[in-house]
């Protein structure tokens, strides 16, 4: 079959499954492996490979599966490339589609997926697969799951309709990537970093003892809630991002401040979020601190349609529905042209750190002094 210049994961070869393929010679890769083959030496495809069930099983460390610009195509079941207890495995340069799982890495270290187009099912699943990298890869209409793995990084990737879940995934990183129409969920994961990426209708949430999350330098746009901070997630930092066209840019709704103590929302730009740039809700406090400082809130709350936990409408730059004595410091924020308030809080429910500035907000500021 003529080698294709672009990946075409939905085009099926005419030959019956595996019928035209011979086993890989020990000395090289001049013919395709059979479906279900266990690969113990590096291999390069010479044509599309269509399989019912599992396609390739990596059975040795240091193996590279080079798709050669071709596709591994499934019929709705099985795994395209399975790597179990095999370190330093690389899969590169081609397309994977039509499987229950595209790539499954288990009990392995230093797995590398590079220059792939993956679609359907669970496109990528890493379980106990630490220090692994997904690089310059496009995932479409498929899930990406990282579980019980440390040091996994996504870089220069495109995820389209591809929900991303990181659970028990300490030091997980996403950088220089684009995510569209797929939620990002982080749970029981510490020191996760989401940086320098674009999240379009791809809301980010973290919860369940996820500590020291860093969300920095991203564009987050078009979601109902750009970032949601849930309970038992201390030390989160949301720094230097642009939030635009969301309903709410950042939302924290927790029963108590202590479980999100150390949260910092700073240096961000919030523009055109229809209900509010920030909604910070706390219904009680037994301690803990947080801060919202050095942000710009411009033209938020011009549509509204959302209420806070007390039933009050949101049409503000930053809106605080906290309780008396809550140690949430609000300082050095610039607000301009928001729907109602630049900053809204009930008296004595936040700490006024000074330096807040309101221009063109119809109701100015409440609960803090704005110049």
Distance CA 65, CA 83 (A): 11
- For residue 223, what is the domain's CATH number? 2.160.20.10
Q: What is the pLDDT of residues 79-126, one digit of tens each?
A: 999 999 999 999 999 999 999 999 999 999 999 999 999 999 999 999
Asked whether residue 35 is assigned to any structural domain, the reply reads no
pLDDT (mean) for 263-282:
98
Answer yes or no: is pLDDT of 3 > 60.
no
Which residues are within 8 A (CB) of 321 and not within 5 positions of it... i.e. 6 or more apart? 279, 280, 281, 282, 308, 309, 310, 312, 346
Q: What is the pLDDT of residues 131-155, one digit of tens each?
A: 999 999 999 999 999 999 999 999 9
pLDDT at 14: 30
Distance CA 132, CA 88 (A): 9
Which residues are within 8 A (CB) of 123 and not within 5 positions of it... i.e. 6 or more apart? 96, 101, 102, 103, 139, 140, 142, 143, 144, 162
pLDDT at 31: 77
Q: What range defines the domain where residue 360 resides?
A: 193-371
Distance CA 71, CA 56 (A): 12
Asked whether residue 138 is assigned to any structural domain, the reply reads no
Answer yes or no: is pLDDT of 22 > 60.
no
Name the DSSP letter for residue 320: E
pLDDT at 13: 31
Distance CA 43, CA 65 (A): 5
Q: Please give the tally of structural domains in the chain.
A: 1
> What tokens appear for 345 in the block?
């809080």
Beta bridge partners of 206: 186, 229
Asked whether residue 333 is assigned to any structural domain, the reply reads yes
Q: Is 35 exposed, middle or buried (0-12, 13-18, 19+ CB in 10 A)?
A: buried
Asked whether residue 85 is assigned to any structural domain, the reply reads no
Answer yes or no: is pLDDT of 1 > 60.
no
Asked whether residue 105 is assigned to any structural domain, the reply reads no
Q: What is the pLDDT of residues 40-51, one digit of tens each?
A: 999 999 999 999
> What tokens appear for 190 in the block?
């510490």
**4-8, 213-217, 344-348, 364-368, range with the lowest pLDDT:** 4-8
Asked whether residue 110 is assigned to any structural domain, the reply reads no
pLDDT at 62: 98
pLDDT-derived band of residue 23, with 50, 70 and 90 as boundaries?
very low
- HSE-up of 162 (CA within 13 Å, CB side)? 26
Q: What is the pTM of this model?
A: 0.91
């Amino acid at each position: 079959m003529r080698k294709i210049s672009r990946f075409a994961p939905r085009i099926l070869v005419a030959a019956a499954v595996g019928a035209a393929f011979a086993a890989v010679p020990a000395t090289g890769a001049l013919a395709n492996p059979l479906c279900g083959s266990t690969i113990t030496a590096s291999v390069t495809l010479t044509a599309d490979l269509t399989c019912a069930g599992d396609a390739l099983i990596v059975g040795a460390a240091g193996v590279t599966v080079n798709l050669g610009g071709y596709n591994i195509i499934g019929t709705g079941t099985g795994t395209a490339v399975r790597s179990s207890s095999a370190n330093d495995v690389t899969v590169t340069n081609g397309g994977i589609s039509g499987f229950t799982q595209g790539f499954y890495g288990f009990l392995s270290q230093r797995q590398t997926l590079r220059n792939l187009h993956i679609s359907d099912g669970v496109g990528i699943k890493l379980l106990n697969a630490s220090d692994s990298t997904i690089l310059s890869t496009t995932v479409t209409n498929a899930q990406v799951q990282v579980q019980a793995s440390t040091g996994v990084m996504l870089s220069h990737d495109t995820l389209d309709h591809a929900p991303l879940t990181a659970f028990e995934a300490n030091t997980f990183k996403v950088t220089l990537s684009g995510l569209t129409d797929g939620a990002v969920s982080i749970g029981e994961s510490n020191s996760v970093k989401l940086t320098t990426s674009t999240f379009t209708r791809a809301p980010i949430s973290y919860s369940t003892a996820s500590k020291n999350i860093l969300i920095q330098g991203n564009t987050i746009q078009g979601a109902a809630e750009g970032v949601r901070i849930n309970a038992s997630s201390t030390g989160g930092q949301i720094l230097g991002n642009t939030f635009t066209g969301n309903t709410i840019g950042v939302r924290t709704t927790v029963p108590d401040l202590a479980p999100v103590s150390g949260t910092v929302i700073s240096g961000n730009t919030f523009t055109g979020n229809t209900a509010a740039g920030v909604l910070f809700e706390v219904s009680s406090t037994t301690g803990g601190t947080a801060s919202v400082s050095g942000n710009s809130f411009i033209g938020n709350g011009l549509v509204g349609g959302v209420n806070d936990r007390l039933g009050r409408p949101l049409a503000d730059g930053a809106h605080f529905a906290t309780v008396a004595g809550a140690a949430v410091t609000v300082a050095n924020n610039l607000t301009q042209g928001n729907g109602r308030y630049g900053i809204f809080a009930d008296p004595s429910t936040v700490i006024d750190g000074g330096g807040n500035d309101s221009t063109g907000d119809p109701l100015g500021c409440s609960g803090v002094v704005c110049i």
